[in-house]
Each structure stands twice: as structure tokens, then as C-alpha cells.
Structure 1
Amino acid sequence: MTPAARAAAAIEILDDIRAGQPAEARLIRWARASRYAGSGDRAAVRDLVFDTLRRLRSRAALGGGEDGRSLILGACRDEGADPALIFSGEGHAPPPLTPAEQAAGRPPTAAEATDLPDWIADRLQTDLGAEFLPVAAAMRERAPVWLRVNQARASREDARAGLARDGIDAEPDPRCDTALRVTAGARRLQGSGAFRDGLIELQDLSPQIACASIAAGPGTRVLDYCAGGGGKALALAARGATVTAWDAAPARMADLPVRAARAGADIELVRNGRPRGDFDVVLTDVPCSGSGTWRRTPDAKWRLTADDLQAVLAVQAQILDEAVTLVRPGGTLVYMTCSLFRAENDAQIASFLDRHPRFSRHSARTLTPLDASDGFFAEYLIC
């Protein structure tokens, strides 16, 4: 595919996403229907779509609208490319720009340059203070690819060497002794021997740091109360903890048995009913706005509403109220979100402590792209 043909595909996909289709699902459907597109073409279209979603407001201003054509025109102008080379009408290229399209567009305002909805920008400016603009700027860029080394199977250097044999370069990070940042060959990861042999797992740096702060090792009984795909359960099992995983929607754990077998981890899944018992650590990685991960899922920031945020706050409070019954006296309740909103983080915990005074704060971690990777929050509470 030529760059212009890739742009034409991105225009169609962006129009569908703006009409309400999830970005990931729409890209998968396009890839399956476009047998002519090679792996490089699929990657290029994906990158163009996601880069544009990250910068939707500023590119809409530059291109004069929020439809797919205007957004790709804005992308050309944002990147200093000649739009005439893309909008040529030749072959599979988009039709030439009309005089009105050529005249449309202007520099983005300061608000548009944050590439956030106004109501979200207002909240984050209050919550983040002086860090708001630097964080907003970081969220307009692609997120790095991070790996967690499974220390039950390999050292960090052994994992790096295994990746290198498959053409994947990864650098250790001093902030967490399990973390590797991929610097080249990321698209080869799932076909690599290191992945197949369970030496590494995809996991962002921020949750790795948060999990490393949990006091868990051999003999520690851990319940991952919102297990989902099981990334945090696997991280704690690799340290020797005895891990039980549960999720209110058991289908979310469908991949966990395969992942655990690959990692050599023994994780008990509770699929029927609710977990029972007293655990040393109960981990609640609760549903949230996902605002800390919008570099990876940029379409989500344009779908989130204030009502959605209020609804998820109620779900978080309910999960905390359920989880307290499973923490043994002297045990630890860990609350995690991948959110930048104070309402989901410090304010949620303050409300919880008002309801459950037998718990007390031990420590907390607030991470942003400025000091780690994804936006992330973790509070460690002692019963």
C-alpha cells in the first residue's frame, strides 16, 4: 500500500470510530477484510489512526473538522507533510481536496492543544496542578512497550538475551528490577521464544512498580479480587505468593490458565460463586476511567462522560466494601486504578476510610508518564 492508500484506509476507520465503534475492534475488522495489506501496512494504518486519536482536537483544528478526511488533512499539516501527495485521487488515494477543504483549518487554541475534552481538562488541571500541561503533552505521544521479566523462570539479563536472539532489543529500567523497555522489534514479541517459554509478559512499568511495593512472597496468601487477564496475579505468583484469582465476570479470566501455564505459575481460579477465606493480601485493581492509559486507548477519552465517571466511582466503592470481608486482621488491602482522576484515587480512599475505620493508610503510589509510564494509583491499607 502507498502512503496515500494507507491514509484512505485510516479515513474510513476514523469515520467509523467517530460514529461510535471501538478503535481496536474496527482496526481488527479492517485488517481481516484487507488481505492485500501486509504486516507493515497494517502497522502503519494502526499507527496513523491511533496517533490521530491521541491528537484529535488539535488535528481537527488544523484540518477544519472532525470527520476522517479533515483529521487526516490535520495530520498532514501537523507533521509538515504536503497534503497534495496524499489527497491526489490517484489509485487508492483519497480524492483531491476541495477549495473549501484547502481553505479550512487554523492553529489549535491552548485548550485544543491539550487534546482532551474540556470537562476532562478542567478536572485534571485541578487534580494535577502544575503537572497538568506536561502530563497532557506526554499523553499525546505513543506509550513505550514494557515487559515484565518472570523471575521464576529467568533473570532480567537472560530474558534480554533470549529476546535479542529473536531480533528484539530491550533495556532494563532502574525503577523496577523486573522491567524491560522494548526499543526495537516490538512486533516480534508474541512470536519470540522468550514469550513462548514464559520468560516475559507484556506489562506496563507503572503496575510493575505498584506490584513490587506489595509485601508478598513465599507463604503469603493473596487474593486478586478483580483479576481480569491476570497480569498482577502472575506478577505476585512469580515472587512465590500463593495466589487466588477471582473476577465478577469470569470470562475476563479466560486467558489466565494459558498464561499461568506458560509462566509456570500455580494460580487458583474461583469461577463459581465468590471467594471465601481470610487473605494476607487482597488486591482490588478496580474498573476505572482508564485515564492513565489513554496513550494506549486514545478513543476512550473521547467516549468518557461525566456520568460514566460517576457510575464507575459507585462500582469502585462497592468493590472495596465487598473486599474488606476477605482481609485477615493485620492483612493488607491494596487498591489500584489506572486513573489520573483524584475522585477515583485519594478521594475514593478517604471515603472508604470513613466507612471502614478499622483500616488505616500504610502508603500510596501515584504515578504519571512524567515519573513512570501509564498514569497509575495504588494505596496500601492495613486492617
Structure 2
Amino acid sequence: MRIGGRIQAAIEVLETVETQHRPIAEVLKDWGNAHRFAGSGDRAAIGNLVFDAVRWRSSSAWLMDQETARAIVLGTLAYRWGWNLETLADFMAGDEHGPEPPTAVERTLLSNASLDKAPAHIRADVPEWIEPQLRATFKEHWVDEAAALAARAPIDVRANSLKAGRDKVLKALDQFGAKATPWSPLGVRIGAGSDFDRSANVTNEPGYQKGWFEVQDEASQLAVLLAGAEPGEQVLDLCAGAGGKTLALAAEMNNRGQVHAYDRDKTRLKSIFDRLRRAGTRNVQVHSADSDLKGLLGKMDRVFVDAPCTGSGVWRRRPDTKWRLTPAALEARMMEQSQVLDEGARHVRPGGRLIYVTCSVFADENSGRIDSFLRRHPSFAPLPVERIKGEALNAVPARTVPNGLLLSPATTKTDGFFVCVMERAG
């Protein structure tokens, strides 16, 4: 496909996403199935443009003075990708499958594109109702933090210490320009790329198939390291999902002791078994959704709660979710978070620890949930920040917030994660 055709395809996909309120990945898959002539490079390029258009939907619409898919795509190409207006017009006009060239009005708007006078939530590219949540967390820096959440994310992987060190993984992924992450001693990062650049498909690599590494953002890696799990301990991963943090916990424990992996949604656990086998993990016991966990009550050295949340900290990877989020959905997540915290507390032994983690940057889901929990469970107390981080992680420039630590794209160059470690009185 020529560039004009790619632009037109992106407009069509975005129109479907907007009008049918469907996930981007699903619509892109349907488009590819209906347009078999498009190669893998074309599909990847179209996906890049669609995802970026959604990242900056609000600011592009404001710049173009309309919210159509065409306006948002053109605004993204000109303002975010930095394409010269004449070059863009040539691409569009020189392809019979491309969109109509920019109109006179569009040319004027694109030539004078500036967000200097845009409202704060437009510059931040977030729904207006979310502004108070971000302001409560980041104070005067909230626009910059939100803007960082709208950028593309790199690909981070975690070296599986049961099978390979970071140097081995770096060598295996050298063809993609892999570098060591700045904070996690196990992390390897591949840059996000720009414009139509294809992302590295690291799960196709032999090293991945051999279990040398797992795809995991550095913030998620740090959350596990901050949990401080030790070999020989009994650990409950209460919201294990697909098992990313379960695998990391097991590796930190060097396959000694036991990690109990549980999730009340059985569909989320279905991929964990293949991942455990590939990683060479031997100290994980998977509990099905209908399992009775009574035998673990009051016996766990650590309970890791990766709570259900809005996912505001991973908007770089799932930009469409920020536009679908509603106040009602936020309230529902907060109720679930309180419930899972209460459940987790029941399994912590005296002197043990409860680790609460979200991939959210909203204060109500983070410090707010901990405040509420502590009123219900006075036997628990958050650990001071210096005791959470430990010597190996002291350099991490995480933001100290009430009851814990917050990582974010603007501050730590990671996804947005909140980590609180609480200790139960002995």
C-alpha cells in the first residue's frame, strides 16, 4: 500500500472505533481480514496511526476544530508526527486510494496548529472529568504527567533469572537496539519507534520461547521487587491474572518456598500454565477460581494484591480505554479494590506483609483505598518509604505519595504504578 492508502485506511478504522465503540485491536483485525492485499507492514503502519490518533484525539480535534476521524488523523500527522503540510498533501493527492487532499480550511488550521490557548484537559489529552483525579495526584505537574501518559510506550522485558541473566537477554535482543532499563536490574528495553515504524515482536524470538525473558513493563518489575519476597516464604498472589507477577515472584524466590496463584476470573488464568512451564518455575501452585483458600488464612508471609483498577497508568499501551472510562466504572473499581484488600488481609500472618499494587495514577484508587482499608484494619500499618525501597532500589525517582510510592512515565519513564507495602502487627 502507498502512504495515501494507509492514511485512508486509518481514517476508516478510526471511524469504526468511534461509531461502534469497539476496541482498536478488534477493529484492526477485522479490517485486515477484509483487506487481504494489505501486508503485515501495512497493517502495522495503519495500526500505529490509529493508536496515535486515539492517544491525541482530544488535542487533534481541538486543533482541527472538529471531531471527525479525518480531522483527528490529519491533526496527528501534522502536529504529532511533524509531517510537512505540502508533503502530506502530496501523499494524499498522489494515491487514488488515499483521502481527498486537505481543504483550504484544513490547510489554514494545520499551518497554525498550536495548543498554547487550549484548555488544560485538551493539552493533557484526557476527558475533562478526569482532571480532578490527576490534579489530586500530581498537583501543578498534572498536565505534563498526563501528556506523558499519551505518548507511545517502549517494549520492556524482564530477564527470567531462573534461566538467563540480563546480559544474555540483551545479546538475544540486540537486533532491536535493546538497552538495559535504568532502574530494574532485570529489565531490558526496546524503544517505541515513531511514525510507521514496526514494533519488535519479541515473543517470536527463540529466547522468549526458551523462557529467557517475559514481556513486563519496568514499573511492574519494580512492584515485584518492592514486595521483597524471599526464598522459602509462603506468598499469595491474590489477583494473579495471566501470571506475569506470579512468574516474577517465583523467580525472586529462586523456586524455593511457594507462590499460590489465584484469580477469581478463571478465564484470566488460562495462559498461566504454559508460561510457568516455559519459565522453568516449580514453586507455584495455581488455585482455580472456585478453590477454597481457607487453608491459607493467616499463614502467608506476603500477600500480593495486584488490584483491578481503571488502568490509567497504562494509557500509553491502551489509549482507547481512557476515552471509554466513566465515573461509574471508577466507583466500581474502587469497590472491588476494597473487597480484594479485605480478602488479602485475612491471609496475612502476624508480622507478615500485604502489598497493594495498581496500574493506576488516581489518588482515589491508591492512597484513598489504603486510608479506607486502615480504618477497617488497624492491625496493619504502611511501611516507611525507605523500608520499602531498600538499598538496591534507592535510586528509583518514584514520587512519594500518601501511603506509598508512585511511578509514572514523566517521572520514572515507566508505566504508572502505585505500590503500598503494609505490615500486620505481630
TM-score greater than 0.5 by the shorter chain = yes
1:32 and 2:42 are equivalent in the alignment: no
1:192 and 2:205 are equivalent in the alignment: yes
Question: Partner letter of residue 85 of structure 1?
Answer: D
Distance in 2, Cα, partners of 1:371 & 1:100: 41
Q: Give the counterpart of 1:341 among 362, 375, 386.
A: 362
Q: Which range moved further: 252-261 or 63-72?
A: 63-72
Instruction: Give the drift of 1:90.
Output: 3.7
TM normalised by structure 2 equals: 0.85
Matches within 5 A, 1:308-323: 308-323=329-344
CA spacing shift, 1:80–1:182, aligned 2, 3 Å: closer
Distance in 1, Cα, partners of 2:34 & 2:200: 21
Instruction: Give the drift of 1:110.
Output: 3.6
Distance in 2, Cα, partners of 1:235 & 1:200: 10
Which residue in the other structure is 2:393 paired with? none
Q: Give the counterpart of 1:270 among 266, 270, 287.
A: 287
Deviations 1:326-356 (A, max 9, x none): 1112111111101111000011101000001
Q: Give the counterpart of 2:180 among 172, 177, 200.
A: 172
Which residue in the other structure is 1:352 paired with? 373
Question: Partner letter of residue 176 of structure 1?
Answer: S
Deviations 1:180-211 (A, max 9, x none): 11148852411111111100110001111111
Number of residue pairs matched? 381
Question: Partner letter of residue 291 of structure 1?
Answer: S
CA spacing shift, 1:263–1:186, aligned 2, 3 Å: farther
Deviations 1:300-327 (A, max 9, x none): 1111111211111111111111121111
Instruction: Give the drift of 1:113.
Output: 1.7
Secondary structure of 1:342's partner? coil
TM normalised by structure 1 equals: 0.94
- The question of whether the paired residues in 2 share the 8 Å contact of 1:89 and 1:95 is answered with no
Secondary structure of 2:173's partner? helix
Question: Partner letter of residue 367 of structure 1?
Answer: L
Question: Partner letter of residue 303 of structure 2?
Answer: V
Question: Partner letter of residue 14 of structure 1?
Answer: L
Distance in 1, Cα, partners of 2:327 & 2:245: 29
> For the aligned residues, what is the CA RMSD?
1.9
1:47 and 2:76 are equivalent in the alignment: no
Which residue in the other structure is 1:255 paired with? 271
Instruction: Give the drift of 1:215.
Output: 2.0
Which residue in the other structure is 2:98 paired with? 93
Instruction: Give the drift of 1:126.
Output: 2.7
* Unaligned 5+ runs, structure 1: none
Deviations 1:107-151 (A, max 9, x none): 441421211111112321232113212212212311111110000
Which residue in the other structure is 2:7 paired with? 7
Matches within 5 A, 1:67-106: 67-78=68-79, 79-82=82-85, 83-88=88-93, 90-97=95-102
Distance in 1, Cα, partners of 2:22 & 2:46: 16
Q: Give the counterpart of 1:329 among 347, 350, 364.
A: 350
Q: Give the counterpart of 1:367 among 404, 407, 419.
A: 407
CA spacing shift, 1:162–1:73, aligned 2, 3 Å: closer
Fraction of identical pairs, as percent:
37
* Unaligned 5+ runs, structure 2: 385-403
Distance in 2, Cα, partners of 1:2 & 1:335: 49
CA spacing shift, 1:33–1:259, aligned 2, 3 Å: farther
Question: Partner letter of residue 370 of structure 2?
Answer: I
Instruction: Give the drift of 1:63.
Output: 2.5
Distance in 1, Cα, partners of 2:32 & 2:242: 24
Distance in 1, Cα, partners of 2:28 & 2:259: 35
Which residue in the other structure is 2:397 paired with? none
Distance in 2, Cα, partners of 1:103 & 1:155: 54
Instruction: Give the drift of 1:35.
Output: 2.0
